[in-house]
């Protein structure tokens, strides 16, 4: 990035961050930081932690990297909180190696720092690394907290490590950490992925009555009995009932651009439409069959195909194709799960356009290179990660 950027510029960029869910919180942080600037207060560790966390939430890797350099240049103390925010930011923005580098360089690490690294590995599907880091945390005699355990249990679930998952679960209960819905969710996920459905039922893991958890369990069971497609369809219906629309963001030259499903209000909408049209022609010409079951509206098949091309991540990817050139990686952050058709189409785009694409959805990272997905597990349809 250009070195003419100032912190004020970064804050200005952040102030136009998307207003969906997490974005609201970002906005608040940024206003607070902006106020500090106006009052003539120099950016300090506290401001940096807020802004770096804002970058982590929205996947603004460019800004995050710039802030990292800025901290060094301005001589801002790279303390425990700042370093932890950087580890979290790099991990959430898809740069797990860089996250690990910052983590390794930390002279002192508290539970929050260890947890950020463990959760980071877990969301990247790196179960072995997450558990090794947890072992080192125990060696260093740092007491794990509930976030650490979410990282450990979800790593076990992603890695299909049932025996280990059970072991950590009992240790956690013995150590007196009160399990939260997230912990129960990880255990349901762990058993279901291993096809141990009875073990996975909320009553088996002694989970309290909770609608969300029961819905998760039910959806996973539907997935196993009806197969992947029907599972996604049911999941779609559930997600649709919650009334949330798909929303994806992409950072271009330090600005975060937000795209909502079927919304063409972007100033460069005409060019984006052009790219979408070209991409759809090319993708279809290599034999892609649109998976129209991903579309919930009660319309004809032709309209369903068109609706798929308006999914928010496609708009964001198209904008990435329009504004950047290889080898720049197209990085998109999405608020819901990626649907089956978008997953397949993105794979094809990565090959046809020779571009690396990384999509972070509500659950995990999807990395597409040369028509393939990298580091994703074959879950055999038992519990897939799709469904807009
Ligand atoms: Zn989609």
Q: pLDDT tens across 94-127, in order? A: 899 999 999 999 999 999 999 999 999 998 888 9
Q: Which residue has the tokens 């059970």?
A: 166
- Judge if the upstream peptide bond of residue 327 is cis by omega within 30 degrees of 0: yes
In the reported structure, the alpha carbon of residue 292 is separated from the centroid of ligand 1 by a whole-number distance in angstroms of 10
In the reported structure, the alpha carbon of residue 246 is separated from the centroid of ligand 1 by a whole-number distance in angstroms of 8
Angle made by CA atoms 363, 367, 370, in degrees to the nearest 5: 155
In the reported structure, the alpha carbon of residue 338 is separated from the centroid of ligand 1 by a whole-number distance in angstroms of 6
**Residue 266 has what pLDDT?**
92
In the reported structure, the alpha carbon of residue 311 is separated from the centroid of ligand 1 by a whole-number distance in angstroms of 5
In the reported structure, the alpha carbon of residue 340 is separated from the centroid of ligand 1 by a whole-number distance in angstroms of 7
In the reported structure, the alpha carbon of residue 61 is separated from the centroid of ligand 1 by a whole-number distance in angstroms of 23
**What are the residues facing 250 on neighbouring strands?**
257, 332
In the reported structure, the alpha carbon of residue 347 is separated from the centroid of ligand 1 by a whole-number distance in angstroms of 13
In the reported structure, the alpha carbon of residue 339 is separated from the centroid of ligand 1 by a whole-number distance in angstroms of 4
In the reported structure, the alpha carbon of residue 208 is separated from the centroid of ligand 1 by a whole-number distance in angstroms of 33
Q: Note the Cα 165 to chain centre separation in Å.
A: 23
Q: pLDDT tens across 325-378, in order? A: 999 999 999 888 888 889 999 999 999 999 999 998 876 788 899 999 876 533
In the reported structure, the alpha carbon of residue 279 is separated from the centroid of ligand 1 by a whole-number distance in angstroms of 15
Residue numbers in the chain where pLDDT is lower than 50? 1-10, 12-32, 36, 41, 222-243, 377-388
List the one residue out of 100, 146, 154 whose CA is nearest residue 127: 154
pTM over 0.75: no
């Amino acid at each position: 990035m250009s070195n003419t950027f100032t912190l004020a510029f970064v804050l200005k960029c952040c102030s136009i961050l998307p207003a969906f869910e997490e974005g609201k919180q970002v906005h608040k942080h940024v206003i607070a930081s902006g106020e500090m600037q106006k009052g003539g207060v120099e950016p300090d560790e506290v401001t940096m932690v807020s802004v770096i966390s804002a970058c982590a939430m929205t996947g603004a890797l460019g800004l995050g990297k710039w802030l990292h350099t800025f901290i060094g240049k301005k001589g801002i103390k790279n303390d425990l909180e700042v370093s932890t925010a950087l580890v979290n930011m790099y991990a959430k923005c898809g740069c797990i190696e860089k996250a690990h580098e910052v983590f390794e360089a930390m002279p002192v690490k508290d539970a929050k720092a260890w947890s950020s690294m463990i959760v980071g590995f877990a969301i990247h599907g790196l179960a072995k690394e997450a558990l090794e880091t947890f072992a080192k945390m125990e060696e260093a005699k740092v007491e794990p907290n509930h976030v650490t355990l979410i990282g450990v249990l979800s790593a076990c679930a992603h890695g299909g490590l049932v025996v280990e998952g059970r072991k950590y679960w009992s240790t956690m209960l013995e150590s007196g950490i009160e399990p939260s819905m997230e912990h129960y969710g990880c255990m349901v996920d762990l058993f279901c992925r291993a096809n141990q459905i009875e073990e996975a039922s909320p009553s088996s893991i002694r989970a309290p009555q909770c609608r969300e958890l029961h819905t998760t369990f039910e959806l996973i069971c539907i997935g196993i009995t009806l197969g992947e497609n029907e599972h996604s369809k049911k999941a779609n219906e559930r997600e649709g009932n919650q009334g949330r629309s798909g929303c994806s963001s992409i950072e271009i030259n330090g600005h975060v651009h937000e795209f909502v499903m079927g919304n063409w209000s972007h100033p460069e909408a005409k060019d984006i439409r052009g790219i979408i049209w070209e991409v759809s022609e090319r993708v279809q010409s290599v034999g892609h069959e649109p998976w129209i079951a991903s579309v919930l509206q009660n319309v004809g098949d032709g309209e369903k195909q068109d609706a798929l091309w308006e999914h928010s991540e496609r708009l964001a990817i198209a904008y990435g194709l329009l504004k950047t050139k290889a080898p720049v990686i197209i990085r998109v952050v999405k608020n819901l799960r990626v649907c089956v058709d978008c997953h397949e189409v993105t794979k094809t785009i990565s090959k046809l356009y020779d571009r690396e694409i990384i999509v972070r959805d509500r659950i995990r990272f999807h990395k597409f290179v040369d028509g393939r997905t990298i580091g994703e597990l074959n879950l055999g349809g038992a519990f897939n990660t799709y469904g807009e």
